[in-house]
Structure 1
Amino acid sequence: MKRLLQKFDTLGLLLLVAAAIYYSVTNLWDKWSLGLAIAGGVFILVGLVANYQQILASLGKRSTKYATNYVVSVVLVVALVSGVNFIGKRHPRRLDLTSTGRFTLAPQTTQILQKLNKTLDIKAFFPGGDYPPLKELLVEYQTRSGHVRYEFIDPDRQPALAKQFDVSTYGTFSNPFTGTQMKFGTVVLVAGDRREKIEKRSEEVREEDLTNAIIKVLRTEMKKVYFIEGHGEKSPEDTERKGCSEAKKGLESQGFRVETTNLASQAKVPDDAKVAVMAGPTTAPFEQEMQFVNGFLNRGGGFLLMVDPAPAPGLEGFLKSWGVQVDNDVVLDVSGAGRLMGAGPQIPLVLRYESHKITDRFKAMTFFPLARSVGPSKETVSGITVESLFKSNANSWGETDLRGAEASFDEKKDLKGPLSLAVAVTKEVKPATEKEPAVKARMVVVGDSDFAANGYLQQGNGNLFLNMVSWLAQEEDLISIRPKSPEDRRVLLSQSQQRMLLYLTVIVLPGSVLIAGITVWTRRRR
């Protein structure tokens, strides 16, 4: 019996190793891993008690001293390596060499995670209880914030938990390009008593999906954005090239609720509106309708106005009262940048931005088809701050002869670039008190509405539009560069290129190695 007890220390060590392996595989410290660890500790203690006489007798031997030095050295090395590994785990550094930054979290994601101040539980329901691509992404999120916790769950093995979170979407699908089987599932985000669900049937869960879900689950109120209609404006329901359905989709992904309103029939901007958008009116609104907008702004609302060149109305009278000047021109860019979009000089390209919350750290390229210049008026209005957001480049001008068949710069009539294309307006309508912050009216005026239309709402334009609305809604935390969808970067080869690649890899390279080998063998024979 005593001999059996003396072997317990070895058995205990094996149990501790098993607990460590179980935890490293499952990433869960559950009853099994805890039970193995406790049993291992108990067995080691029993083994040490059973062997204490032999241990005391061997302490005085020279071989024991050498062995002790050896064991201490090993322990120190293991402790050093473990410490370095722990630091590396808590503060990982990765080098992303992809041209699109595919493995780097977007600035908006990092910004939101750094400001996370409560626990966010992410439960991923996937077949088999694991999905490495998503796990790698969740590790990045957890690295950026200690408040993020994630867990993978197999809905077939834990049906009660799947039913609790109303999970029914999971399984496998075939990749149409490679034919490989891939998993899909449901990701549930829980913050307090709020939940948000991501369901994907035929594609992977991307960073964009996770970040948008985090925004929604953390938002305490659903802020409404109203698109004003009745004057030929672009509609958020229109899915055609000139519509704004993609803009609506982007706003909803950020947790906003989008609706439409008619000022003439409602006789006001809705009371629950946080932001009102007038996207390129083709006919002038009634003066009373703009008074409704004035009343909305003076309540602390946000207004996004996008005006197009004539014959579209410029709303000069309304904007003059807010310190904004709208020029009767079309901005032409002769730098050749418009060729990038397959267009001529009528599409000014913007690469540099003024200092403002909307454009903070914004470096993406944006473009504005058929834009007019909009800037601060020469006569300032008391209590109102007007700031330019971005300008056309130096090789541009504002063409004032809108009837001519050809355009050329006229120093006497035209406006020399760079020209302001958008402004941000701020007015304090209620001063701050000891209990409440100041209430401010906010307005953004852009000299083009097509930049937010479906046909032009690319990555840069889309981010800029969403930044404008976020600032107007006083959601500065959402102003940043958003995650972008992964690009399809497949290499497409013609038939001749495929044959050349086949000959090179199957015949030329192996043949060269074979010839080189025969040559060396022949020389050695001589």
Structure 2
Amino acid sequence: MQSTPGDTPGSNPHAAPGSLVEFIRTDRQTTGYVLAGLSALLLVLAAWTVYKAARPVDAAEPDKPKKADDPFSLDESPVKVKDPGRNDFIVGAVDAVAAFVVTASIAAWWFVTIPPLTEKGQRTQARKLILWVTGELGALLIIAGVWYFYRWSGALTDWLDKGQEKQARWVLFPLLMVVVGDAIVFIGMQPARAEERDNAKLRKLVYGTNVGLAVLLLFEALVVFNVFIGPRLPNRLDVTGDGFYSLSSGSQEFLKRLDQPATLYAILPEGSRGSDDIKRLLQTCQDVSGGKVQVKIISPVANKGDFKALVAKYPVLEANETGVLVTVGEDEKRHTFIREDEFSQRDPGGAPGADPGRSFVGEARVMRELLFLTENEKKAVVYFTQQAGELALEPSPEGEVGPNASAAKLKTYLERNYLEVKPLRFDPAAPKVPDDATVVVVAEPTAPLAEAHVAALRQYMTEPRGTKKGKLIVLASARYGPKDKVIATGLEGLLAEFGTRLGDRLVMSEVTRELELDPEVAMVIFSPMAQRARHPVAVALGDKSVFVAPGWRPVAAVPGAPTFKALPLLITSPGRANWLEDERPRDLRRIVTELNTSPQIRAMKQLTDNPRPVGVVVSEGESGRVAVFGNGLIISDGIVRQGRDAGDPITFDLMGGTVDWLRDRPLLNFGTEPKKYKTFTLPATADETRGLWFPLLFALMVVTGAGASVYLVRRRAA
């Protein structure tokens, strides 16, 4: 075939026709029939959607009236999708009718139009046809997908946050429509690119379509990132030096293991530092929980209707206007309210007349409330025996009961963590541990327990009460009896049944130049064995804990109890030689001389450079049963008075964590110390002058350089 006048062979190698273009050019009649058939299919689709939209529907949920006190409020709750409704089919019908009109019009135009005389013109016309059909149909499909995605956005929350996988289809179908529409537009644009250099009209169509498609793809990428990836990323980055806005590892683990949904209603004013910190804390809890915690911000001013509805449901809000309402469960019946002022506390100490400052305690407060509510508001009961001179639970003036004989501060600490603390005084006629006891504590006995009382504890530990088994904590430092001998506690036999030996000797340590401590004072840390075993208490406190106290007893794990696993938890700090004394050390110089000169005495007193265990925990299967510590003074009120730092001593965390471990509860309070508010002031130095003039000098250099560049380019062009 001879070339027509409009053809120039080899003039544009990129304009090589494709098979679809050649088919449309050479078989116009079939192409018209295909377009007519496509328009007929779209007409059928439009008729079906019109039928669906016009059919009778079940009684729909009436529209919610606007709140009387806030007529301009918007219903922000997302649509719950079960099946497409009438409005959905109406939109589908409009979209299908528009697609029918487009394809039918193009088909009619194709039948009545006279084809160009040249092959090049025919190919150009075919490429325009492909571009028009795919562009119009793709755009209509994209518009429908975007509308349905917005319309069915409620399914997104049910799918991602609540795990309802059946709702995923109402999210994926609209996204699939948008992606298919993009693909149709992109594929239809490719044949026209062959003439973008030679045909100005096609070039405008191609470039315009390309820009629109690029903008749409960017929008889709932003939607996918914000909808699917964004919720899995932290809400904000914490760039503070002390991690002010980060949750502790214990809190994160607890939130991830929540087995019930929780809702936190933040009823707070706008614009204050405290309110912003509380909201930030709640948002972090929501991010970490993986959808188990939902946060709702309610302004008492801007959301009056919502606030009144909450007050009607929760009367506790009538006397409290600002704070956080914590609810747990699907019905949200279990609830409590944390006032705004309870999220911070005034720091103790400070110079007279000076402001001591404040600290943020919101994390510990929220975690305690959540833990309490998820336990169905039933407090665990911890009993402290009061039979053999143990630490008293009631505060008394110093002189009646000294600080080393009282644990009133510990009682307050445990009660603050939603534990009920009671004294245990055995009935002389029939000693028995109460049935409601969760944990029994024997703290610092000054005399051996009576056999009847030990028998009651043995019965409590060995005879299950339904599904509950006894839990026991023993804390006993070296106490002296007649002839300055270390007295026994009376519990040695019972503890041996659980694979633990509580020694009746005193741990002594050498005096070094680095540590000029009294030989009776030992530095105690968590054992590497407990760290490797990932024991919850050791993991939570091990990296920051050193317990310093006098009078430690040795505690060891012993074989013979196959059903129990004993693990050394506390050991003396390495670097100090230690030995054991079975009586009060009155002549330290003589003791040291004997150790240096007599191998027999060194062997008898077990002199060693290795750390010595002074605390053992015993578990049965996955559940804790017994904890034995060779010192009870570490939880006495005296330890609080000796502490220099504000807040509770770390030994209280040790005790609280041990109780939680025995109860098979997560250890929440570790790492949730108060976070002090700090004010950073820039130093008044020459940096202020540099900060003022350096930007001006830099801007002058940029402007001068840009002007010189323009001048040189114009001179070269001239």
Q: Does 1:332 align with 2:509?
A: yes
Aligned partner of 2:605 in structure 1 is 414
Change beyond 3 A, Cα 1:467–1:64? same
Larger % of helix: which? 2
Number of residue equivalences: 454
Match for 1:70: what amino acid? V
Aligned partner of 2:326 in structure 1 is 188
The structural deviation recorded for 1:125 is 2.0
Equivalent positions of 1:473-492 (< 5 A) are 473=663, 475=664, 477-479=665-667, 482-488=670-676, 490=678
The structural deviation recorded for 1:381 is 5.1
Give the secondary structure class of the aligned counterpart of 1:423: strand
Counterpart pick for 1:398 among 579, 583, 599: 579
Change beyond 3 A, Cα 1:320–1:264? same
The structural deviation recorded for 1:168 is 4.2
Change beyond 3 A, Cα 1:375–1:74? same
Kept after mapping to 1: 8 A contact 2:260/2:374: no
Aligned partner of 2:455 in structure 1 is 291
Q: What CA deviation, in whole Å up to 9, does each residue of 1:359-390 have, x standing for no partner?
A: 35242313041142333366745655433212
Q: Does 1:164 align with 2:306?
A: no
Kept after mapping to 1: 8 A contact 2:449/2:490: no
The CA RMSD over aligned residues, in Å, is 4.3
Q: Does 1:115 align with 2:232?
A: no
Counterpart pick for 1:72 among 182, 189, 213: 213
Kept after mapping to 1: 8 A contact 2:477/2:553: no
Change beyond 3 A, Cα 1:382–1:112? closer
Change beyond 3 A, Cα 1:226–1:321? closer
The structural deviation recorded for 1:70 is 1.3
Aligned partner of 1:25 in structure 2 is none
Match for 1:484: what amino acid? T
- Equivalent-residue separation in structure 1 for 2:388 and 2:679 (angstroms): 47
Q: Does 1:322 align with 2:515?
A: no
The structural deviation recorded for 1:332 is 2.8
Counterpart pick for 2:295 among 136, 150, 153: 150
Aligned partner of 1:224 in structure 2 is 381
Give the secondary structure class of the aligned counterpart of 2:395: coil
Change beyond 3 A, Cα 1:306–1:271? same
Aligned partner of 2:75 in structure 1 is 31
Q: Does 1:309 align with 2:478?
A: yes
Equivalent positions of 1:409-448 (< 5 A) are 409=592, 410=595, 411-415=602-606, 416=608, 417-426=610-619, 442-448=625-631
- Equivalent-residue separation in structure 2 for 1:135 and 1:291 (angstroms): 53
Aligned partner of 2:150 in structure 1 is none
The structural deviation recorded for 1:468 is 1.4
The structural deviation recorded for 1:480 is 6.2
Kept after mapping to 2: 8 A contact 1:353/1:391: no
Which structure has the bigger radius of gyration? 2
The structural deviation recorded for 1:75 is 0.6
Match for 1:194: what amino acid? R
Aligned partner of 1:255 in structure 2 is 418
Aligned partner of 2:227 in structure 1 is 86
Change beyond 3 A, Cα 1:513–1:79? closer
Q: Percent identity?
A: 18
Kept after mapping to 2: 8 A contact 1:375/1:420: yes
Kept after mapping to 2: 8 A contact 1:375/1:422: yes
Aligned partner of 1:24 in structure 2 is none
Change beyond 3 A, Cα 1:297–1:50? closer
Match for 2:326: what amino acid? V
Kept after mapping to 2: 8 A contact 1:338/1:348: no
Match for 1:161: what amino acid? L
- Equivalent-residue separation in structure 1 for 2:476 and 2:409 (angstroms): 19
Match for 2:258: what amino acid? L
The structural deviation recorded for 1:344 is 7.7
Aligned partner of 2:3 in structure 1 is none
Change beyond 3 A, Cα 1:382–1:119? closer
- Equivalent-residue separation in structure 2 for 1:423 and 1:280 (angstroms): 16
Runs of 4+ in structure 1 deviating by more than 6 angstroms, as ranges, are 40-58, 335-339, 342-345, 510-514
Match for 2:317: what amino acid? V
The structural deviation recorded for 1:490 is 4.4
Q: What CA deviation, in whole Å up to 9, does each residue of 1:458-506 have, x standing for no partner?
A: 5642332122112323x1x32366242234374799xxxx9xx546567
When the two structures are superposed, what TM-score results if normalisation uses the length of structure 1?
Answer: 0.72
Aligned partner of 1:361 in structure 2 is 539
Kept after mapping to 2: 8 A contact 1:333/1:349: no
Give the secondary structure class of the aligned counterpart of 1:478: coil
Higher relative contact order (CA 8 A, sep 6+): 1
Kept after mapping to 1: 8 A contact 2:286/2:292: yes
Q: What CA deviation, in whole Å up to 9, does each residue of 1:334-367 have, x standing for no partner?
A: 567867xx98871413154433534352423130
Give the secondary structure class of the aligned counterpart of 2:537: coil
Kept after mapping to 2: 8 A contact 1:373/1:419: no
Q: Does 1:372 align with 2:552?
A: yes
Change beyond 3 A, Cα 1:244–1:212? same
When the two structures are superposed, what TM-score results if normalisation uses the length of structure 2?
Answer: 0.54
Give the secondary structure class of the aligned counterpart of 1:213: helix
Change beyond 3 A, Cα 1:250–1:45? farther
Aligned partner of 1:210 in structure 2 is 366
Kept after mapping to 1: 8 A contact 2:557/2:616: no
Match for 2:390: what amino acid? E
Change beyond 3 A, Cα 1:248–1:478? farther
Bigger mean CA deviation after superposition, 142-151 or 243-252: 243-252
